[in-house]
Amino acid sequence: MKITVFVLIVLSLIVVFSIVLSVLRWQKSQRERKQKMLATLLNRSNRLLDIFQTVSGRYLPGSVKKVLVEYAFSITTQLVKDHYDARAELNHAGLVEVFDNLKLGEKGEVKMRIASQEELTSTQNTLQYLSRMLKKLAENRVIDNGSAKYHMGLLRYTHSLAYCDVLVNQAAQDLDLDKKSRALEKYRTALVALERVSSGGYAQKEIAHLKVMIDDVEKKLFQPTK
């Protein structure tokens, strides 16, 4: 009888130990998963803040920026709440400044145009990253599908706009060298690129401006010699 009781006690202890061990392992797994998630969120907030501070407003429309700033706020708020990293508080403060500037509107914003191939590659990679993020936010129901679709359309336009700005800059250099035919070809290439993303009505002003420049070069190139 005593042996039976002893065996039952040992078995009970083994069961309890197994349960405790399983709980501890689960808790450790949860902590590791949370730390990994927080690290991902911190890196994401770092990148978003850098984008907000460095990408020209010409390629990052205010409405897109507002949606992403609000999302970035939610990230840094969680990080600060969990006391994850001192950088989270710095990012949060930086986002406050970005948001305050955003509320002032676009009147005082200098919308710099890119001019080099290196700037184009960097800008287009950034816009593609933001577009993927908007799609993911919609899939996770952070924003609605209609909002995501609209803002992704804007980014597709500015993606092409960046390409066109580089072409226009190159065409201007060609004109300075009196290479009108080469300049005209680049203006026409830029026009085609913009017309491909004109369905949303975003590109009409730029398209009209390009047509004026094309017409001007054509007149100089094809005017009869006297």
CA 134 to chain centre: 8
Q: C-alpha distances in angstroms, 167 versus 25, 128, 174?
A: 58, 20, 10
pLDDT of residue 203: 86
For residues 79 and 38, what is the distance between their CA atoms, to the nearest angstrom?
7
pLDDT of residue 94: 93
The string of pLDDT tens digits covering residues 146-156 is 999 999 999 99
Say yes or no to pLDDT of 191 above 90. yes
CA 32 to chain centre: 28
